[in-house]
Amino acid sequence: MVSSKRPKFPCPAWFLLSPLRTKIPTHLQVDKISENELQIFPSDKSAFSLLSFLDSTETYGGQEQLRKLLSRPLSDAAQIAERQELLRFLMIHSEKWQLPATGKEVFTLERYLNSNVASVRTSSTIDSFLYGHWYRIRHRSHFAHFTEGIQEIKDFIGQFAALFDENSTEPIPVLLQELATRFQVVLTEMEDKKITFAKGKLLFKNTIQYDYFFRANIFGRSITQRLLTLYYELEAYLSLAQAMKTHNLVFPVFTNTSQPEIYIERLYHPAVANPVANDVHFDADKRFLFLTGPNMAGKTTFLKAVGLAVYMAHVGLGVSAQAMQLSVHHRLFVNLTNEDNLLRGESFFNNEVKRVVEAAQYIHQGRPCLLIFDEMFKGTNVKDAMDCSQLVIEKISCRRNANAIFSSHFYELALVISCLPAVFLQYFAADLTAAEPRFTYQLKPGVSDVRMGLLLLKQSGIEQLL
């Protein structure tokens, strides 16, 4: 419970030294197309999304805070480390750090704050006392509504205070300190406005006065909204921590290197059941992966897994791998599919060119980036497609601030680009000796010259139909 004086609240050394920060987070740049390609948020095209994979929130506000965290991956190593520190802490201390109210209780509180029962404004304490008695008799149901709502706010604040009070003896992560500081600021502002909760039954005068303050007064409404936001943020963090444990995700290590690098051991896509894991290595010398392999061999899933791992790492999350080490990137660019635009009169090939130009613009800025292309230039003839691919590969591989993966069916390109110093070749194999193609989904060094298009077409039974 919260006392009639200043509410009891922990004031250990870490609290006294943790003012609210004003540093604006810097974010990894990811455009909407790349976000959709990696399936960060739910869509009609896919059952999997990163949000649903990590979401165990019970409130709409908590889910929106989780969405906010996922939509803003960071590009500052210190800020990423702070988020990792918080999630590690919550994973270890999950029994001590639990939400101060249930989702149902928060929903009831939200319903009270947004109810359309008119609040009553009084001019003095005596007026509130007398009017409270009269209102209780004349409008019994409304008065009961006020009383229950104020009691919910009182309990909500008391439970929050108890959460911080019970865990005040040990140091806590910086981001949790900031939540505690913001909570203390709210309590101080309430006390300054003479909004305090005494033990025992709520007084008549306080019922009318506090209901108006919390539901009709602009400042009071801002206080309740900030309290709920603190709850939603904690709920989102706890959801992420729970997902880390449930899915055995591994926190990556960020290195302080001027050029982009990525090392991943036994990477897999979190949506795949019984996945085959693969290693990924990019460094200052080997920056451009030319990936080949037949249809259904696993290329696109691998590309998504790499992009998703880099994305999750910059959110401050663990990744689906045995281990991961990488430098901070400032741009993640993914292009797996393209469409024409009839309304704008843009062809399929024109949209492919536009995406490549967008990628080039980010490379030109000179900041570390990862580019992922899947079978580019499908919208033109084979000769043009190979020439365009060769040009793009030659140019991108020369830029030391970019790591890139370029998947293609044009294995003939390997003969031309294998001499480029930064390019390395890998492929996914297929066994066509049996009646049905068999895939290992294992990444291997070299180039695949397997062609399966005609085989798959014949197996579909089209010859019998036509």
Do 183 and 273 fall into the same domain?
A: no
pLDDT digits (tens, 9 = 90+) for 303-338: 999 999 999 999 999 999 999 999 999 999 999 986
- Please check whether residues 224 and 339 belong to one and the same domain: no
* 47 vs 273: which has the higher pLDDT: 273
- At residue 17, the pLDDT reads 39
Mean pLDDT lowest for which of 188-197, 221-230, 293-302, 339-348? 339-348
pLDDT in tens, 340-362: 554 454 677 888 889 999 999 99
Co-location of 338 and 422 in the same domain: yes
* Boundary (domain end) residue, out of 246, 271, 286: 246
Pairs from 113-119 (Cβ < 8 Å, separation ≥ 24): 113/149, 113/214, 113/215, 113/221, 113/224, 115/145, 115/149, 115/215, 117/142, 117/145, 117/146, 119/211, 119/212, 119/215, 119/216
Residue 58 lies in a domain: no
Same-domain status, 220 and 267: no
Do 237 and 257 lie in one domain? The reply is no
> Which ranges in 316-381 belong to alpha helices (H)?
348-364
* Burial profile 65-88: b = 16 or more Cβ within 10 angstroms, e = fewer: bbbebbeebbbbeebbbbbbbbbe
Let me know whether 294 and 357 are in one domain.
yes
Largest CA distance in the chain: 93
> What is residue 211's predicted lDDT score, i.e. its pLDDT?
81
How many domains are there within the chain?
A: 2
Q: The domain containing residue 329 runs over which residues? A: 253-465
The one-letter amino acid code at 415 reads: L
Tell which of 246, 273, 301 closes a domain.
246
Residues 414, 296, single domain; the answer is: yes
At 279, which CATH number?
A: 3.40.50.300
Do residues 217 and 342 share a domain?
Answer: no
- Residue 126, in any domain of the structure: yes
Boundary of a domain, candidates 246, 271, 292:
246
Query: Cα 274 vs. chain centroid, distance in angstroms?
Result: 24
- pLDDT-derived band at 70 (thresholds 50, 70, 90) equals very high
C-alpha 69/C-alpha 457 separation (Å) is 44
Task: Classify residue 394: in a domain, yes or no.
Answer: yes
Please check whether residue 245 is in contact with residue 316, taking contact to mean a CB–CB distance below 8 angstroms.
no
Are residues 381 and 318 part of one domain? yes
Both 180 and 263 in a single domain? Answer: no
61 to each of 172, 317, 339, how far by Cα in Å? 24, 21, 35
